[in-house]
Structures are given as C-alpha cells and as structure tokens.
Amino acid sequence: MEFKMEDRHTECLVKNRSFLCSKISLSTGLLAKLSESGVITDEHLQKLQNIERNDTTKAAVLEFLTEVLPRRAPEAFNLFLEALCESAQKHIADHLKKSLGDVCSEDAGTFERLREELRSHYERRLASIRPMPWQQDIYLNLTDVFVERQLNLKTNYKGDERIVTMDDLFTPQQTEEIPRRLLIEGNPGIGKSTICQTLAHEWGKQSCGRHCGTLCVHSFDLVLYFHAGDFIAEESVAHAVQKHLLPSDCRITTSELQGVIEAKNVLIIVDAFDEANAGNRTLDRLIEGDILRHKTLLITSRPNFLQNKLSLFDSKFKVEGYDKEEQLKHVKRYAAHQNIASAPFESMLKERSIRDLCSNPLNLTLLCLLREEDTQLRNTRTALYTSIHRIIKEKAAKRLKLIEAEVEESLLRPLYRFAFEAHRENKTVVGENDFKKVKNFQQVCEVGYLTNEVIISRLQPEKRFQFTHKTFVEFLTAKHIAEMDREERLNWMQHLRYANYHIRIGGLAIYDDFNESAELTEMASLVIKETHFSYEHYPISLDSSCEASHQLLRLIAELNVVPPELADVICKGRPPLINIHYYCSASCRRGMLKLCNLRFQPPIPMNVDLRDSRDEERMSFVQKLIKCKSIECAKIWIVPDDHTELWNDVREWRIGQANSVQQVSIHCGYIRGIPCEEFSFGNHLSELQLIGFQPSHSYVLEAALHKPLTSLQLIDCDELDDGCISQIHQLLRNQRQSLQRVQLTSPWHQHFGFFLADFAQMENLQSLEISLNDSTDEEMRSLEAILKRNKLSKLTIDSRDYSGSLYSVLNEGFNSMSSLRELHLECVDIIHLPNLRHLDLINFSLLRYSILNDDGIAVLSDVLRSWRNLQHLRIDFDYDVSVAECSLRKLFEAIAGCHRLQILHFQWLEMADSVVPSVCEMIESLKQLRKFTSIWQRDESLTEEGFKQLEPIIKRNGLNTCMDLTLM
C-alpha cells in the first residue's frame, strides 16, 4: 500500500532538495536505521545501493527523496530525522527542523506574500511572446509556441561538449556538486530570453508534473527574473526586487526581502548581460559570489562578453540554432497558434537560400510573419530586416495617415539616430532623459519599433521604452550610418574599437544604401586596415574563437553581389592566411564563399576546423572550398569519434590527393580500434598533425611512411612503444630531404631525445619542437649539430630537467643562430642563457614552470632591450615566487622599448596598484600593440582603484584586451 506524507513535510523536502543531495551521506548506519524503522524496505535498500554503486551518492539520495520517502507512512519524515541524528548527521536534521519551523514563523508570511506576488506577476507578464510590437494583435502564447531547447554543455578546457536538456539545467554536471553559477551563451535571437521567460513562467505554475524527480526549476522556493539592466544603480538584489518585480502597494520592505532571499532556496535569473554589463557593480558582485554566493544564479549573454569571468561559472552552456526537427516544430506551432495551415511555412524551410536564417528562432518567427504578408523570401539577414522594415513603414503610413516619404523623413530618420545613440551606449531600454531630445517622440514610438510595455519600476513610476530586440537596434543604427555624410561616417569608423569583438558593426552590411562606390571602397579599406582582415599567425587550436579579424567576412556575407570596386580593395588587402574556426558563425562561412568568386593570385591559403564531420552544413561548405580556384583549402582539422569516422573522413575529403586537402590535423583522443579496411592517405600528403597520439594509432603513421611530408607533428603524445619508435625512425629517414617542420611533444614528461640523431640528418629542417628529459651526451651532440647548422627559424624546448649540458648547448648555440625568429622555452631558468641577447627574435615565450625571480627578470630585461624586431611576447611568471616591484618596473620599461610588439601575454603577473602607472606607460609606448592579455592575477594587490587607472589605457582604440583577475 502506498502512503502519502504531510504536505508541510513534502514541501520541506522539496525546498531543501539541493541541500540534502549535497550533504547527506548514505552511510551504513543511516541505511540500517531507516531499514529498522520501516522507512525503507529491503527492495528499496538494494535499489539505493545499486544506484550509488553505478552512478553517484547524490543520485541515490535524489531517488530516496523523490521516489521513496514521500510515498511512505505519514510518520516517515520524523523517523527519517531520528535516523539522521543517530547516524552522525544531526546537523542535517537540525537544518530540516529549522526549515520546517520557518514555514510557520512570521517570516513565512512574508515569504508566502512574496511568492504569490511573483507568481501573479509572471503569470500576467510572461504568458505571451510579442515578437513584433508594431502588430499589437500578435501575442504568441508561450506554452503553445515554445520549442524545448537543447543546450551544449562545455565539459573541459579543450572545448568538448555534450548535449543536455533544459530539464537537466540545474543538476550536477561536471562535478557532483550542484551548480550555483550557470552561464548560457548564444547569438542574437537564438532564444536565450525565451529560455529565461519559460523557466520563470514554469515556476509560477506551482507544479512540475513529470519533472519532480529531477532538480528542476520547481526545486526553488523563489525565482527572481531580471533583465541585467535592472541591477544598474541598485545596491542589492532586494532593492532590484522591490523596484522591478513588486507592485507599488506591496508593503514588503527591502530588509524583509533580504531576509527571505537569504533564508530560502532562490534562483536568480539575469537575462542579457551583454546589454547592461558596463558599470553594473551589483551584478558583478553576484557573479563573483561576493553576495548571495550560496544562491543559484543563471546568466545569459551573447558570446565573449564574460571571457574574463568564465572561471567563476560552475556550468557553461551554449544555445545553438534550431536543427531541422526544431524548425519544423516551430513553424507548426506558429501555424496552429495563428489557426492557419502550416504547409506554406513547411515549404519555406526547404528553400536553400534561407537555411541559415531558419536556424535562428527570432529570424524564423520574422520569416513566418513575413510569409503572411509577402510570399517572396529573403536570403540574408539584411534582406529579411529590410523587408520587415518596409512592412512597418507601410503600416505606419496607413495608421498615421501619412505618405511613406513623410514617415521616413519626419519619424524614421530621428529614430535611426536615436537607435544609433542607444547602440553606442549598448542600450535596448531607454528612459525619459534619452528621448526628451527627440522631436515628435510620441509619434516616433507609434511607428512600431519601440514599446513602453516593459517591466519597469512599479514602486516609483518611470517612463521607459524598449526596442523589441537588440538586432533591431543594430539594423536601425546601420540605417543611420548609411545616411551619415561621408566625412562623419569615416570619422565614426576610425574611432571604433574594431579589435574588441564585443563591438558589433554588422549593421554596416546595408551597402545597397550607398550611392557612391567610392564611399563603399573607403569604408572597406578602413575595415580591412583596422581589423587586419585575418591576422591569425598561429595554427587553429581547439579553443580558437572567431575574432574581429573576421568582421569583414561577416559584412561581405550580407551582400547579394560584391561590387567590382569592393572586390579590388579586398584583393589588394588580401590576408596571408584565413582560419575558419569551429565557432565561426554562418555569416563567416557565407562571407568566405563570397570571396571564392574573387580572383586572388596566388590563392589565399585557408585552414578549416571541421571538428564535427556529421554536420552537413560544414561538410557542404568545405566541399565548395575545395572546388574553389581562389581559395586554397590548405589544412583541415578533424575530431573523429571512432576509427570508422576517421576512415570515412579521410576517404570523403580525399585527404592527400592532388586536387584536395593535403594538410590534416587529427585529434586522436576518441579513436579506439583499427579500421577493418586498409587506411591510406593520398600521395600528395604534405602535413600530418596528430594530437593525443597513442601506440594504437600507429596505422595512421604507417599510412604516411612514404608520403612527401614537409611537416610532422605529434602533440600530447602518450608513451611510445618500441614498434612506434621504430616506425617514427623509419618515417623520419624516409622524409629526410622533404621534412621542414617536426614536433614531438608530451605534457607527461616523455623524452624524445632519441630522435635527435635523425633530425640532425635533415638538411632542410626549419622548425623543431621537442620534449627532452635526461638527455644522453650523444643526444646533446645531435642537438648541438642542429643548432650550429643555423637553419632553424623556430625552436621549442619542453624539458622538466634542464641539465647543465642542455643549458650549455643552448647557450652556445644561440651565438650562431642568426636565422632563429621564434623561440619557446618551458621550465627554464633564464639566468643560464645570457646569450639570448645575440638572437634576433620576432616571437618569444617563457612558458609555465620557468624560474623567474628578480635575477631572472634582470637577465630577461637585458635580453629584451636587444630584440628590436620582437612582435609577440609571452611571459608566464613563477606562481610560487614573488618578485620585487622595482624588478617589474625594469621589465615593463624593457618591454616598452620593443616598439614593434603587437601581442603581449602575461600569466600569473603580480600586478599591484603601485606598478599600474608603469604598465600604463608600457602600453602607451607600444603603438603597434593590438592584443594585450593578463590572466590569473596572482593576488589581491590590484584593487578596483588600480584597475580604474588601467582601464582607459586598455580600452585604447584597436587594442583587444583580455584581463582575467581571477585569483589563483
């Protein structure tokens, strides 16, 4: 027979579920007491032990709390408390008793009132979606049209991901700990706000139905749903609740609110961090855990706005575009809601020209609305928004009884400028002070782009208006930019921080509005100059991201046709290399295909991170590039899930064949087993890079034994067996004349010095990267011969054991290595290498675990003064060694003399307020610097006051800055 415990006991278990899952130990004593008292049966006991054995203790506790205890006799709750007390877990029983008492206390009355106010508020405000405010009659019911989204959870630093559903959002992911800080990133219009709205609305329903077995949104006592801008000028979350979520006649004080928030299990949802992140101190403190650290915080943002705070989040999710099934579900639900046939919308999904647009939920909704008005499809975002804009203008003209020209002149142009000013300040919500200066503002609002139905202060009446979506602000901004006079526009563009990915100038894509091709040419020239078009000099890595260098690609993607004048500018400003990353947007790829129609001589080499070969869109993209005459698809990155997928990828892409890709990087981490069929590359394979290589992957090396390789890289190698070592020896001897670049490195202290004799026989070797430990005298003689030949342009030494002989060989070799331009040293004590000053380097890295004390900094400072051509510098300070401020100032002064420096990277820098002026002077003197990184600040010596001094310098035009002040 199944019983049911008292409601108050059930409520107590539900609201403390997160606490119990993280604290309860299913010890033998606890299980024995529960069994003796009849709370659990032998069958329950066996099931809980199986779950704990096969999954985790938390999963077993969750099963007990949701499926066992609530279904036992009414006295089971008190017996459970007694069992806790008798099994050394009395503190948990006390917590539950206190929680139970809170429900009946005076504070519980405040809690109940607050909960009812929030539920009422969410029920009224969040039940509908209004995608188009100019059509007030269109209210899409949230429950009817919402398509449940899948989220990509980042599982490690390499960028690996797995899919989770919204039901699992709050369950433990990467560790057994329940996540307290969650981040959801996604592109504009991808559905982040709708996810937030759905979570708050679902909580307001008071029941989670079939989801009660998981840590869902109903596990929380309260859900507080904000826009990021709601925290600006608010001193606490309680003040934000009172101002933005409660009616003016609600008499709950901020101190009462604070008490309830601190006492209860609260979920704080903050949408659109990217729209209101500047100067938002309360929100920053929330993210950092400086306030309410034990409450759950869910943040949404466009990508890259929280790069400096990623380490603060327990779970990081990404919302991707709709797949085909989700697109179909979306249009069917839209049609059903509108009570019209879905066939026209379903056929729309089959149009290849708008495939990219359909993957974006907002754009797909706009296409559905446009389909009702106009059957002609638009195949770029600019064309789509332009069509929507035309409809808005027509409707406004009829409603306001004006001709369209009057609407454009008297209402829309002021709106364009107003949007431009809002965009410059990163606003989508504007207040009275903003619109007082706009003539005929009330009529401007009636056009349809602005709505005053926005969650505003309900305690102190305040008139505020909101743009329907940030993408519309960008579109209207672009309209204003297109109408600027020539000098004003160029002046504005010159003051943009192009290198900062957070500044979007995608709106400039409305080139059709420019009457003079000369203006278009000038603008494109400026964009190419300021963004460097594509400046990635380094190979793609697994965490590479799409940066400002691809801005022009995204702009080109919006053009239907590239005008000849623009084509000439692009061809003249052609980059030496373009990297297409895994995280590049569809716009980047479309822009790349537009470049395929231009005539580049010679063709531009391009690297492509394909990563997921099951992605049909990326597959089609690469196939088109391979056929293109103007683009040389130089290298492809693949991450096969198994040996079968590897075999299929190599065959499908014809890797190594004369008319296909001849350079390949293979991530071997997931590959198990050996292909049943013969594995082979084409006869023109020139570069082979294997990441995570193990002896079981030797068949890949065998397939390359007789290929004309110029580059062989084995990265993150496992320990090699005798068979692999023999195979590599053979490959190196076979390719003695052709190999120019070799890398054999391992993070696990492996030693590859026994290959140095082979390298010494390579007359054309230009790049050597190798892990060395406990090298023999013979190996040192081989290294000495390689260095003295003076052919190397790049050298990387990774050694955990720099012996006296290794220091001696390197230091003597540096005297005669006039050809060396790149040097990367790990775990080195630089004081033993004074001859570094004789080199003429462009790129130098002093990597992790290197000894860098005051003496080392003195040597490094002296060396840097001799490197006048240095462009890239990375210094990883010794985390365990504190250096004097005077030493740091000398180092910064030496770096300041490297006037050609473009990229500067510090790790574990001890930057106190007192050295900030020296850092500012250094950056000021480096006029060509375009990327400055300082991650993992070592201590708390840099205060907010010090950062304020630094801020104007690191926000310099053209400087891309990444500062992670996370304490290590």
Beta-bridge mates of residue 851: 829
Closest residue by Cα to residue 963 from 316, 307, 501, 313:
307
Distance CA 679, CA 640 (A): 14
Distances (CA, A) of 863 to 812, 868, 955: 15, 10, 29
Whether residue 277 is found in the same domain as residue 145: yes
**Residue 677's Cα: distance from chain center in Å?**
39
Q: What is the pLDDT of residue 502?
A: 30
Whether residue 208 is found in the same domain as residue 100: no
696 versus 952: the higher-pLDDT residue is 696
Share of the chain above pLDDT 70, in %: 82
Identify whether the C-beta of residue 874 lies closer than 8 Å to the C-beta of residue 847. Answer: yes
Is the model's pLDDT at 527 over the cut of 70? no
Q: Which two tokens stand for residue 625?
A: 């590039």
For residue 919, give the 3-state DSSP assignment: helix
394-403, 646-655, 837-846: segment of lowest average pLDDT: 394-403
Distance CA 254, CA 247 (A): 13
Residue 520 lies inside a defined structural domain of this protein: no
Whether residue 353 is found in the same domain as residue 316: no
Confidence of residue 807 (pLDDT cuts 50, 70, 90): very high
Among 379, 399, 425, the domain boundary falls at: 379
Q: Which two tokens stand for residue 593?
A: 């295909």
Please name the residues in contact with 554: beta carbons below 8 A apart, sequence gap of 6 or more. 506, 509, 585, 587, 588, 591
Residue 297 lies inside a defined structural domain of this protein: yes
In angstroms, how far apart are the furthest CA atoms of the chain? 92
391-400, 625-634, 917-926, 935-944: segment of lowest average pLDDT: 935-944
Which secondary structure element, helix H or strand E, spans residue 679, and what is its range? Answer: none
Identify whether the C-beta of residue 94 lies closer than 8 Å to the C-beta of residue 85. Answer: no
Whether residue 167 is found in the same domain as residue 291: yes
Whether residue 50 is found in the same domain as residue 134: no
Residue 539 lies inside a defined structural domain of this protein: no
Is the model's pLDDT at 517 over the cut of 80? no
Question: Cis omega (within 30 of 0) on the bond before 708?
Answer: no
Q: What is the pLDDT of residue 875?
A: 93
Cα torsion angle, 387, 393, 396, 401, sign = negative
Average pLDDT over residues 319-329: 85
Distance CA 366, CA 390 (A): 13
Q: Which two tokens stand for residue 597?
A: 């129609």
Q: What is the pLDDT of residue 813?
A: 94
Distance CA 456, CA 470 (A): 18
Whether residue 825 is found in the same domain as residue 898: yes
Closest residue by Cα to residue 267 from 186, 143, 182:
182
Q: What is the pLDDT of residue 462?
A: 58
- The DSSP 8-state label assigned to residue 150 in this structure reads E
Phi-psi region of 455 (alpha: psi -120 to 50; beta: other; left: phi over 0): beta
Q: What is the pLDDT of residue 520?
A: 52
Burial class (CB in 10 A: 0-12, 13-18, 19+), 881: middle
> β-strands 464-467, 903-907: how paired?
unpaired
Confidence of residue 176 (pLDDT cuts 50, 70, 90): low
The pLDDT tens digits for 187-231 are 777 888 888 888 898 888 765 554 444 567 888 889 999 999 899
Whether residue 58 is found in the same domain as residue 178: no
For residue 449, give the 3-state DSSP assignment: coil
| Most trustworthy range by pLDDT among 206-220, 573-587, 681-695 | 681-695
Residue 460 lies inside a defined structural domain of this protein: no
Q: Which two tokens stand for residue 99?
A: 């929680």
Confidence of residue 788 (pLDDT cuts 50, 70, 90): very high
Closest residue by Cα to residue 384 from 351, 409, 417:
351
| Most trustworthy range by pLDDT among 546-550, 902-906, 941-945 | 902-906
For residue 153, give the 3-state DSSP assignment: strand
652-661, 852-861, 889-898: segment of lowest average pLDDT: 652-661
Closest residue by Cα to residue 318 from 173, 192, 147:
192
Residue 134 lies inside a defined structural domain of this protein: yes
The owner of tokens 């899948």 is 150
The structural domain count of the chain equals 4
- Please tell me the chain's helix, strand, coil percentages from 3-state DSSP, rounded to the nearest 5: 50, 15, 40
Average pLDDT over residues 891-913: 91
Q: What is the CA radius of gyration of the chain?
A: 31
Closest residue by Cα to residue 845 from 796, 878, 882:
796
Confidence of residue 508 (pLDDT cuts 50, 70, 90): very low
Confidence of residue 760 (pLDDT cuts 50, 70, 90): very high
Q: What is the pLDDT of residue 797?
A: 92
Q: What is the pLDDT of residue 278?
A: 77
Average pLDDT over residues 85-92: 87
Is the model's pLDDT at 610 over the cut of 70? yes
Is the model's pLDDT at 868 over the cut of 80? yes
Average pLDDT over residues 617-645: 81
Average pLDDT over residues 93-103: 75
Q: What is the pLDDT of residue 337?
A: 80
Instruction: Indicate the length of the chain as a whole number.
Output: 968
Whether residue 124 is found in the same domain as residue 64: no
The pLDDT tens digits for 332-352 are 888 888 888 888 888 888 776
DSSP characters over 174-240: SSSSPPSEEEEE--TTSSHHHHHHHHHHHHHTS--GGGGGS--GGGSSEEEEEEGGGGTT-SSHHHH
Average pLDDT over residues 93-100: 82
Is the model's pLDDT at 869 over the cut of 90? yes
Q: Which two tokens stand for residue 69?
A: 């205890």
| Structural domain of 919 | 821-968
Q: What is the pLDDT of residue 235?
A: 84
Residue 733 lies inside a defined structural domain of this protein: no
CATH, residue 194: 3.40.50.300
Cα torsion angle, 49, 50, 54, 55, sign = negative
Burial class (CB in 10 A: 0-12, 13-18, 19+), 875: buried
- Phi and psi at 183, nearest 5°, equal -125, 130
Angle at 384 between CA 383 and CA 389, to 5 degrees: 95
Average pLDDT over residues 527-544: 50
Residue 580 lies inside a defined structural domain of this protein: no
Strand order in the sheet with 315-319: 161-165, 150-154, 315-319, 181-185, 296-301, 266-271, 222-227
Please name the residues in contact with 572: beta carbons below 8 A apart, sequence gap of 6 or more. none
Q: What is the pLDDT of residue 454?
A: 43
Is the model's pLDDT at 500 over the cut of 50? no
Distance CA 569, CA 525 (A): 6
Q: What is the pLDDT of residue 653?
A: 84
Residue 876 lies inside a defined structural domain of this protein: yes
DSSP characters over 81-133: HHHHHTTT-HHHHHHHHHHHHHHHSHHHHHHHHHHHHHHHHHHHHSSEE-S-T
Whether residue 136 is found in the same domain as residue 96: no
CATH, residue 912: 3.80.10.10
Closest residue by Cα to residue 711 from 599, 814, 607, 625:
607
Average pLDDT over residues 364-378: 71
Distance CA 396, CA 380 (A): 24
Identify whether the C-beta of residue 281 lies closer than 8 Å to the C-beta of residue 237. Answer: no
Whether residue 296 is found in the same domain as residue 364: no
> Which residue type sits at 100?
L
DSSP characters over 836-864: GGG---SEEEEETT-B--HHHHHHHHHHH
425-429, 604-608, 703-707: segment of lowest average pLDDT: 425-429
CATH, residue 71: 1.10.533.10
250 versus 666: the higher-pLDDT residue is 666
Beta-bridge mates of residue 964: 935
Identify whether the C-beta of residue 765 lies closer than 8 Å to the C-beta of residue 712. Answer: no
Q: What is the pLDDT of residue 494?
A: 64
Is the model's pLDDT at 568 over the cut of 70? yes
Q: What is the pLDDT of residue 453?
A: 47
The pLDDT tens digits for 41-75 are 888 888 888 888 888 888 888 888 888 888 877 67
**pTM for the complete prediction?**
0.58
Identify whether the C-beta of residue 901 lies closer than 8 Å to the C-beta of residue 895. Answer: yes
Average pLDDT over residues 461-483: 73
The pLDDT tens digits for 409-460 are 888 888 888 888 887 777 776 766 666 677 777 777 777 677 654 444 444 4
Closest residue by Cα to residue 555 from 528, 582, 518, 529:
528
Which secondary structure element, helix H or strand E, spans residue 70, and what is its range? Answer: none
Q: What is the pLDDT of residue 194?
A: 86
Please name the residues in contact with 154: beta carbons below 8 A apart, sequence gap of 6 or more. 160, 161, 316, 317, 318
Whether residue 944 is found in the same domain as residue 878: yes
Among 379, 401, 417, the domain boundary falls at: 379
Closest residue by Cα to residue 314 from 178, 114, 516:
178
Whether residue 316 is found in the same domain as residue 339: no
Give the chain's mean pLDDT.
80
Share of the chain above pLDDT 90, in %: 22
- Phi and psi at 341, nearest 5°, equal -65, 145
